[in-house]
Amino acid sequence: MTTTTINPTDTTQHDHGRAVLDELSPLHRELRRAVPEVYRGFRELHSAAFAPGDLDTKTKELIALAIGVVEGCDGCIASHAEAVVRAGATRQEAAEAIGVTFLMNGGPATIYGPRAYAAVCEFTDAITTGQTS
């Protein structure tokens, strides 16, 4: 059995962020053409959930990232990892939110949690180096 050490600042080793979004993008486009009203409704729900309120966007995105971990949804993790970084969350804030998922979801969160953290690190590095898309 071989082990790989992941350096969270080395984006060449990550495949849980941009690669996931790039893989899903054409699939979403195809389905969106088939059911545009459903996608429109989801977009409205998303806008309402993230509308300004007592919770700021960063907090809401940390919650969404944590739920993505609990649900084991790589697309959710990638999407909300990018959004949480854009909302100004630090790696440590993301790590602590992911840590709560271990309590609430146990073992499965220890699998998807590191994926989420790797995605956050990837998007943080991209923003830091000006490689945003």
pLDDT in tens, 38-72: 999 999 999 999 998 999 999 999 999 999 999 99
Q: What is the pLDDT of residues 97-109, one digit of tens each?
A: 999 999 999 999 9
Q: How many folded domains does the chain comprise?
A: 1
CATH number at residue 61: 1.20.1290.10
- 24 pLDDT above the threshold of 60: yes
User: Is 46 domain-assigned?
Assistant: yes
Range list of H helices, 35-90: 36-49, 57-71, 74-86
User: Is 133 domain-assigned?
Assistant: no
Residue 53 belongs to domain spanning:
16-127
Q: SS3 for 90? A: coil
Q: pTM (2 decimals)?
A: 0.82
